[in-house]
């Protein structure tokens, strides 16, 4: 029997230490992370040129 090694990640956008947006990303993380970050920026109407934003990805425990 095979088990799925699919991982779950949290994609987080912060500015000045305050979390602006967070979403869950399923899969390998790196491949879809950039598109998920851009989707969050548009969805939450975050202006990345207003002040710098910090984007990070955290692997979530199963």
What is the number of domains present in the chain? 1
Residue 19 lies in a domain: yes
pTM metric for this prediction: 0.74
Residue 24 CA to residue 36 CA, distance in Å, equals: 9
The edge-to-edge listing of strands for the beta sheet with 54-59 is 18-27, 7-15, 54-59
Residue 41 is part of which domain span?
7-59
**Could you report the average pLDDT of every consecutive run of 10 residues in the chain (62 residues)?**
68 92 78 80 87 89 71
Residue 2 lies in a domain: no
User: For residue 20, what pLDDT is reported?
Assistant: 93
Q: Can you give the length of the chain in residues? A: 62
């Amino acid at each position: 029997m095979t088990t799925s090694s699919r991982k779950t990640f949290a994609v987080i956008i912060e500015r000045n230490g305050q979390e602006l947006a967070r979403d869950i990303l399923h899969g390998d993380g790196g491949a879809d992370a950039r598109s998920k970050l851009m989707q969050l920026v548009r969805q939450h109407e975050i202006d990345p040129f207003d002040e710098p934003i910090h984007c990070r990805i955290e692997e979530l425990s199963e």
